Amino acid sequence: MGRFFRATRPAFLSVTALAVLLGYASTVHDGYTINYLAAILTLMFALIAHAGANVINDYYDALNGCDFAESDRITPFTGGSQTIQNGFLSQKTMAIFGYLLLLSVIPAGIWLTLNSGLGLLVIGTFGLLIGWAYSAPPLKLQSRGLGEWAITAGWLLVVMGSDYVQRHAFSVTPIAVGLGYSLLVANILFINQFPDVRADTTAHKRTLVVRLGTRHARWGYLIILLLCYGWIWMAVALRLLPMYSLLATVPVLPNLLGFYLLMRHAEQPQNLTQAIKITLSCAIAHAMILTYVLVFFA
């Protein structure tokens, strides 16, 4: 069981838990009461869907040889879980496990749809499609340099779906709440590609960093930051978010330190550990601050 759990890359599942909490905070901010049974099911199966996507990603990265070629990985952040490479589970077992995790989400999704509305079916379908298509052929979004867009859309859908389960309707509020956080999650993926660039190149996995080259790609980190924090300021200016939401932009300061470290060490993967930790911590801090503000300063 420990091997299966490790294969899900549990260290990263917190980013999905926070996206779900942001969705709940969005509904509370708009005056809705939380249905706790639906909330627990939503959280549980959002985590399972994320775990399934992680396992599927490891399976296809084993097939293309990417994770076998990994020499600059920073544990546990880059290079996958290495479950297959270390002989803990076979490729076939990983494939079966990953697809079973994704399929197990469907019954819960149907129940939640029946109790909240057909809109959730649309959100869930696109969410699962992105989780699968991120790594799996024929789409292989990450290998086509579209991974950051897929991650942004995927985590925004988590926020929207969690909100929809409670609200039973579409709203602009979860988009205002979740877009900045989704961009920060995409930045985690983005910086994680730098230590993987040699292995990705060897495996012909054409991520955005591989396509641009490390020297040019490092500026993408700053662009994503500007999009995220610029969106928060715009959402406040448009009164989509309360003024106190600007507190969620405070993590921009350590984020800029992460950018500085990336600028210095983009071609020295062994020196990027601190920058990766900062990027992950800032995404978590942003979500926690914004959740608190929406719930207690609504």
- Which CATH number do you get for residue 268? 1.10.600
Tell me the per-residue pLDDT of 199-225, one tens digit each, with 9 for 90 and over: 888 888 899 999 999 999 999 999 999
Tell me the per-residue pLDDT of 143-198, one tens digit each, with 9 for 90 and over: 999 999 999 999 999 999 999 999 999 999 999 999 999 999 999 999 999 999 98
Total number of domains constituting the chain: 1
Tell me the per-residue pLDDT of 24-67, one tens digit each, with 9 for 90 and over: 999 999 999 999 999 999 999 999 999 999 999 999 998 888 87
Q: Are 49 and 128 in contact (CB under 8 A)?
A: yes
For the cut 70, the answer to whether the pLDDT of residue 298 exceeds it is no
Domain around 78: 2-296
**What local confidence, expressed as pLDDT, does residue 119 receive?**
96
| Reported confidence tier of residue 3, pLDDT bands at 50, 70, 90 | very high
Question: What does pLDDT average to over the chain?
Answer: 94
**Tokens linked to 297:** 């300063």
| Reported confidence tier of residue 250, pLDDT bands at 50, 70, 90 | very high
- Tell me the CA end-to-end span of the chain in Å, nearest whole number: 42
- Which residues, other chains included, contact 119 with Cβ-Cβ below 8 Å and sequence gap of 6+? 164, 169, 170
| Reported confidence tier of residue 80, pLDDT bands at 50, 70, 90 | confident
Q: CA dist 127 to 91, 106, 138, 196, Å? A: 24, 11, 17, 25
